[in-house]
Amino acid sequence: MIYAEMLAGGGHASFIRRNAVCNLPFMTLQTFNKYTSLITNKSIESCSQIHTESREIVTQEYAKVGSVPDQSGVLDIDVTYDGTWHTRDQHSNYGIGATIDAVTELVVDYQIMCKFCFLCISIFVSRTRKFLKKSMNN
């Protein structure tokens, strides 16, 4: 259920509301965060393994036609690139782009994109807190 909530883009509060509708037990924020962290770490581990296997297969396929990595370990391959946003018409804040090998049609690299600058948001939140604290003290 936590994984489904993550896929839906919800957080702890949304998870609690859905559980209440289904008469499921309450889960603390700490427990919810523990499981989301576990799911995220396992997902990253799986993606890394799949990524490594894809690159090995691509290297093997190009070796069959005599193409081998140069001295610096770079293999010259033919690729295509495609990307998408979480929702249509780029209204989503999150997207992904993938570089796909033209011979094997395997993803050899990807990039997750976000329209937000988290550093800017962090600075904004920090300044807002300082402003509110200063305003409340006056």
Q: Tens place of pLDDT for every residue, the chain, 138 residues?
A: 888 888 777 788 888 888 888 888 888 889 989 998 999 899 889 988 998 999 899 999 999 988 888 888 888 898 998 888 776 655 667 788 888 999 999 988 888 877 776 677 777 777 777 777 776 665
- Select from 85, 117, 89, 111 the least CA-distant residue to 98: 111
Q: How many Å apart are CA 129 and CA 125, to the nearest integer?
A: 6
Is pTM beyond 0.75? Reply is: no
**What does the pLDDT read at residue 13?**
87
Tokens of residue 17, six digits: 């509301």
φ, ψ dihedrals at 121, nearest 5°:
-65, -45
Q: How many Å apart are CA 32 and CA 29, to the nearest integer?
A: 5
Tokens of residue 60, six digits: 């093997």
Q: Are 107 and 99 in contact (CB under 8 A)?
A: yes
Strand order across the beta sheet in which 94-101 lies: 79-85, 94-101, 107-114
Non-local CB neighbours of 13 within 8 Å, separated by 6+ positions: none
